Structure formats: structure tokens, C-alpha cells
Structure 1
Amino acid sequence: MSTVVIIPTYNELETLPEAVKAVRIAVPDANILIVDDNSPDGTGAKADALASADPFVHVLHRTEKTGLGDAYLAGFAWALEHGFEIIVEMDADGSHPASRLGALIGAVSAPTVPGAHYPGLAIGSRWVTGGSVVNWPAHRLFLSRGANAYARIALGINVKDSTAGFRAFRAEVLRGIHLEEVNSHGYCFQIDLTLRVLDAGYTVVELPIEFKERETGESKMSKNIVVEAMKSVTAWGWQRRFGKKNSTSSS
């Protein structure tokens, strides 16, 4: 099935070439879409150079940095317009193992049980059995585990890593979950889409990965992203218990 790996970038000049190389080695038949938010460090120009040298690499330039969620939504729109059947999210900083791309793509390319429905979303998960995190300080481990535990309890879902940013969707799923209504960012964006996929009746599968903390550059995590996620998850959980089930439609 035709696949595109979307890699959003903002000041990823040092890590982007290796990320692209790793994807091309792991899944040679997949295309890559780099979505650059007008990086001041020259990442956009580097992306253009990579695309000029490889017909499987494409670049979408955005004029400003408005958040990870907006970057992925722009990438999704491009991918759907160009007819890709499997759409993958992946970071540019080397934290997501390209060696697991084949497994993620395969999980949404075929049913897990003969005659069963295809999973709509496959997540590269840090917190299922076999998953792990390398080189994270204790406070980051606590934050991620806590955020995911809170999301499970508040939303009543059974996904252990709903904040994960390494994931593969079937295109038909993205077409059916009202992306035009999504207005979330960071951790919150990933939880939002996970919840929408589940509420639309699709299966979510989690595959273990080894997540490595970036070695260069700066993390995009911020206090505002965490606060947004906590507020939104609390509101969605309240609505799911006492209001309409598809609570993210107003997010």
C-alpha cells in the first residue's frame, strides 16, 4: 500500500538528514514529506536539497510555527490529496526507531485476525510490554507515564501511550474523524486523534519501541503543552461521562 512518512521540523538542521536516511533504508518504497515551519536555522533549505536529490522526498513549507498539531494537519491534508493509503507520523530528532516503521505500517496494512477489520491506527508505544525509554531524566519519565495514566482513567480508554508521536494511520480513518475540527497541539494533539479514532469505531494497536532521547537540539516540550493537555483531557473526560461521547468534536 502506498505510504508516506510525515516528518515535521523546526530547527532540525543537524538531525534531519540522518532521519531521512534512516527512513529510506527501513522502508525504501515509502515516500517522505518534510513539513517545515519556517525554521530559522536553515532546515527548510536542507529539506529542499534532500528532496532535489531524491524523488521519494517532498517538502511542505509553512510560513510560521503554529504547533505540532497544525504541522501534522497540513501534512495529512497533503498526503490525502496525493492519494497515500498509509500515513505515518515520525519525529526528526532520532528518537523514533526507523527500524520499527515496517511493523507499524504492516499493522495497519492487514487485519490481525483473518476476516477482522483492519486496525485504523498503530502506535509505536513506550509503555507496553517490550517498550522502553533511553536517556530520559526521572521527571520526563514521570510526566509521560503520568499523562498517559491520567488519559486512560479520565477518558476511559485502554491505550497505554496515547501521547506517542510515532504512529501509522489508514487514510480512510483520517478522512472519517473530522480533522477540520481538530484544534489541539503537542501531547494533546496525539491524545485527541487517538480518541477520535476509537470513537469512530476503529481499533488501535500498540507495538513496543525503544524511544531514545534526542542527542542534539532542544526538546519542544513546554509547560504550556502540558497544561493544554491536562485541561483538554479533563474536559473531554467530563463530557464523555456526562455529555456526548464524541467529546473531541469541540476541541
Structure 2
Amino acid sequence: MTAPTLVIIPTYNESENLERIVARLHEHNPDVHVLVADDNSPDGTGEIADKLAAADDRIQVLHRKGKEGLGAAYLAGFRWGLDAGYQVLVEMDADGSHRPEDLPRLLAALDERQADLVLGSRWVKGGRVVNWPKTREFLSRGGNLYVRLATGMRLRDATGGFRVFRRTTLEGLGLDGVESAGYCFQVDMARRALRAGFHVVEVPITFVEREFGVSKMSGNIVTEALWRSTVWGFQDRTAKLTRRGAKR
């Protein structure tokens, strides 16, 4: 992959993980640049990010005022990366659940499969999760099944957050119209890409449960994502029926 690539890592209280994940990322992907988008973490994550940036010109830091949600952090990172001229932008968690070792295959899929958006997928053939209880796996699989049924998307893992976007894809989605802030942001972005006619592919990854820190996942986050998916599915189906009626 020769195009400049920016990996956006949103952080909130990831002081135990940030240095580890950036080191692993550059071990396996030495040419990528990193933008740490920190939501004013009270545990000092932002200060750690500043130290990393001072020692390595491949690393930049975006300090945000406070915790506004995962989607808001990524949108800010996308805008920063687009303004800076990057051609490929990557979403990746700070907690180690997204393995940097898998990133080269996701980047390769842009050219090999002519993709506009590549999703790292836990639930396609070859994908797997490590150190998850069965209840968590059931929740994720069931949630993705519901998203498929509600929205009509055929994606196996629309809720995953390890993703690669072409610059042209983000520009074509109209980021100013994206309002999702929480984890339903991932479903929203995949839905928008498919509706806009972009080629979305899934590449198997190994998802590893975090070793340090506290997961941000909660029942309320899942409920919001499922509710939003229901609304989006209803809106899309209504729009299709309206278009069909107008053609008659």
C-alpha cells in the first residue's frame, strides 16, 4: 500500500494501553501515521500521547474538550486527516482488541478487491474472537443479525470498529450529515456507504478482548444501536416504497 495512511485511535482513559498499541502498530506497519484523538482523559492518556508524538514524527495528537462519544471522536479525526491530505484513513481501537498484525490484509483489500471501505470482520469465515464469554459472543452475533434484518444490509459484522476508508469514500458520505455519536456510528457509516453505492468488503480478523483498562461497552450502547437500526431500516423501506409509487 503506497498511498499515505492515517490510523485514527480514539482514547479515553487508555493510559495502560496506548503506548503498547502504537508500538505494535508501527512494528507491523512502519509506514503508517497515527492520530491519537483523546477526549481529555483524566488518567493522563493525553500526556502520554504528547510524549509519543514528541519522540516520533509519525504520531500526532488531537486534544478534544471532553468525552463526546466514539463517533464524534472519529469524525473529528476524519476531518483532521482529510485536511492533512491523507488518502487512506483507518479506524482502530486503543485497547489491543484490533490486532495491528491484521492491518496489512485490510489495506491490501482496497486494491485486491477494489474496495472503497474495508471492514475487519469477526463473523465471516476465518474471523474469530479470543477471550470472550459466550454471552458476549451471542450478544454480538445476535446484534449483527438484527441489524441485517432491520436494515437489509448483508454485512456479517456491521458493528465492528476496525475499518479502512478511502479518502474518496469519506468525502462522498458527507460527514457533516452524520449525527451518530455512540457505537451505532459504525452501523450508520456502513449503511451510508452502501446507500451511496460504494463497494464495501469484509476481511476476517482476530478480535482479542482487552487485557488492561475497562471496556466502554454497555447495555445502553447496544440498545441504542438496535433502536437506531430499526429506525434506519424503516426509513429506508419507506423511501423505497415512495420511489416505486412515484414511478407508477
For the Cα contact (< 8 Å) 1:185–1:225, is it kept in 2? no
Q: Which amino acid aligns with 2:145?
A: A
Deviation per residue, 1:59-81 (Å, 9 max, x gap): 00001101000000000000000
Shift of 1:106: 1.6
Q: Which residue of 2 aligns with 1:98?
A: 100
Between the aligned residues of both structures, percent identity stands at 54
Q: For residues 23 and 180 of structure 1, what CA distance do their matches in structure 2 show?
A: 30
Q: For residues 228 and 125 of structure 1, what CA distance do their matches in structure 2 show?
A: 21
- Counterpart secondary structure, 1:184: coil
For the Cα contact (< 8 Å) 1:120–1:204, is it kept in 2? yes
- Counterpart secondary structure, 1:136: coil
1:204 matched to 2:211: no
Aligned mate of 2:188, from 178, 182, 192 = 192
Aligned mate of 1:22, from 14, 21, 24 = 24
Q: Which residue of 1 aligns with 2:238?
A: 242
For the Cα contact (< 8 Å) 1:38–1:62, is it kept in 2? yes
Q: Which amino acid aligns with 1:10?
A: Y
Q: For residues 174 and 220 of structure 2, what CA distance do their matches in structure 1 show?
A: 25
Normalised by the size of structure 1, how large is the TM-score?
0.93
Q: Which residue of 2 aligns with 1:176?
A: 172
Q: Which residue of 2 aligns with 1:67?
A: 69
Q: For residues 187 and 139 of structure 1, what CA distance do their matches in structure 2 show?
A: 19
Distance 1:214 1:124, change over 3 A: same
Q: Which amino acid aligns with 1:148?
A: N
Q: For residues 111 and 96 of structure 1, what CA distance do their matches in structure 2 show?
A: 21
Q: Which amino acid aligns with 2:9?
A: I
Aligned residues: 239
Q: For residues 244 and 46 of structure 1, what CA distance do their matches in structure 2 show?
A: 49
Deviation per residue, 1:99-129 (Å, 9 max, x gap): 1111111212x152xxxxx311111110000
Shift of 1:244: 5.4
Superposed CA RMSD: 1.1
Q: For residues 206 and 226 of structure 2, what CA distance do their matches in structure 1 show?
A: 25
1:232 matched to 2:234: no
Q: Which amino acid aligns with 1:190?
A: Q
Q: For residues 6 and 75 of structure 1, what CA distance do their matches in structure 2 show?
A: 6
1:161 matched to 2:161: no
Shift of 1:141: 0.8
Q: For residues 109 and 85 of structure 2, what CA distance do their matches in structure 1 show?
A: 19
Q: Which residue of 2 aligns with 1:218?
A: 214
For the Cα contact (< 8 Å) 1:123–1:166, is it kept in 2? yes
Q: For residues 244 and 219 of structure 1, what CA distance do their matches in structure 2 show?
A: 38
For the Cα contact (< 8 Å) 1:19–1:94, is it kept in 2? yes
Q: Which amino acid aligns with 2:133?
A: P
Normalised by the size of structure 2, how large is the TM-score?
0.94
Q: For residues 238 and 62 of structure 2, what CA distance do their matches in structure 1 show?
A: 41
Q: For residues 132 and 29 of structure 1, what CA distance do their matches in structure 2 show?
A: 27
Q: Which amino acid aligns with 2:200?
A: V
Deviation per residue, 1:212-247 (Å, 9 max, x gap): 0001100001222112111110001111112259xx
For the Cα contact (< 8 Å) 2:71–2:183, is it kept in 1? no
1:120 matched to 2:116: yes
- Counterpart secondary structure, 1:243: helix
For the Cα contact (< 8 Å) 2:120–2:204, is it kept in 1? yes
Query: Unmatched 5+ residue regions in structure 2?
Result: 242-248
Q: For residues 131 and 56 of structure 2, what CA distance do their matches in structure 1 show?
A: 33
